[in-house]
Amino acid sequence: MTAPILSLQSVSKTFFLAGREVRAVDDVSIDVAEGECLAIVGESGSGKSTLANMILGVYPPTAGTIAYRGTPLPARRELKHRRLIQFVQQNPLSALNPQRSVGVSLRLALDVHGIGKKSERRAEVGRLLEEVGLPASFMTRAPAALSGGQRQRVAIARALACRSEIVVLDEPTSALDVLVQARVLRLLQELRKARGLTYVFITHDLSVVRNIAERVAVFEKGRLVETGATGTIFSTPERPYTRRLIGAVPVVTDAEMALREQLTEEFTGERNESA
């Protein structure tokens, strides 16, 4: 059997805050298979984002190893490691540098990793934009001239620009309004299929999980308390904590579904942005 594309072995992270030890992630082991979408769910402060940052190499784990296809990744990542694992963050408003055009932001990944010939990178930026459903002409635009959903598409294009294999998505849709949310999720699904990507999808929105993830990992206070196929977790949650999480999802009845068309027309407000 081939090694999983991403493998976490007893990974822990301890922070020291005001003299107190805080175990943000506590002895987590989990494998991610190539091409799958693993959802990581849990409440705010359950260690989801800390785990994401360690996978991305923002900081190394205090203990344990993170391996790519069986090879442990070093604490200080080299460029070749950075290329493999990319990131789409929650807030599309701050994800792009307001002083640089969309094209310049996208080109950075190509320049840093030396992808393609210099003369062809401009065309590549255009192709990337088209791949995420935006016109290539957007490359000259400032981020301020784009809507939240469009910016998130650019951020997705940036994560794919260096031909990454694993994408960590930290609540990529929670700052978008519902209609845009659905479109961005659909785009992410299409890209995964077309490029054979592996997703680590962090969210606390279980309705999103149901739409996109094959497998779910439930976090509680830094510990991995339950993993399983999405369907199994939703139908027969083992842990009371998981049951509470699922129970917290507002249930939509048939009567409410019938009203949906009218509701979505009015609902344009942004969702809360808390992590």
Partner 1 sequence: MRRALFILLRNPLSLIGIILVAVVVLSALSADFLTPFPADRGAAVHFELANQPPDWPHIFGTDLVGRDLFSRIIFAYRISLFLGVVVLAIAVPVGVTIGLVAGYFGGWIEFLLMRITDVFLSIPPLVLAMSIMGVLAPTLTNGMLAVTAMWWPWYTRLVYNLARSEKEEGYVLAAEIIGASKPHILFREILPNCVPAILTKMTLDMGFVILIVSSLSFLGLGVQPPTPDLGSMVAEGAGYMPDSWWLTVFPGLAILFAVFGFNLLGDALRELLGVEQ
Rule CB under 8 A: which residues touch partner 1? 56-58, 77, 79, 82-83, 86-87, 89, 91, 94-100, 105, 108-109, 112-113, 155, 158, 162
Toward partner 1, which CB reaches closer, 55 or 212?
55
Tokens of 58: 């923002």
Residue 153: Cβ-neighbour burial (10 angstroms; 0-12, 13-18, 19+) = buried
Toward partner 1, which CB reaches closer, 89 or 173?
89
Residue 27: Cβ-neighbour burial (10 angstroms; 0-12, 13-18, 19+) = middle
- Minimal distance, residue 109 CB to partner 1, in Å: 5
Cβ neighbours around 255 below 10 Å, total: 7
Toward partner 1, which CB reaches closer, 112 or 249?
112
- Minimal distance, residue 35 CB to partner 1, in Å: 22
233 contacts 217 by C-beta, under 8 angstroms = no
For residue 249, give the amino acid letter: V
Toward partner 1, which CB reaches closer, 57 or 61?
57
- Minimal distance, residue 159 CB to partner 1, in Å: 9
C-alpha dihedral (88, 90, 92, 96), degrees to nearest 10: -50
Q: Round to whole Å and give the CA distance between 31 and 5.
A: 8
- Minimal distance, residue 228 CB to partner 1, in Å: 29
Residue of 231, 165, 212 lying closest to 33 (CA atoms): 165
- Minimal distance, residue 100 CB to partner 1, in Å: 7
Toward partner 1, which CB reaches closer, 52 or 233?
52
Tokens of 62: 């205090």
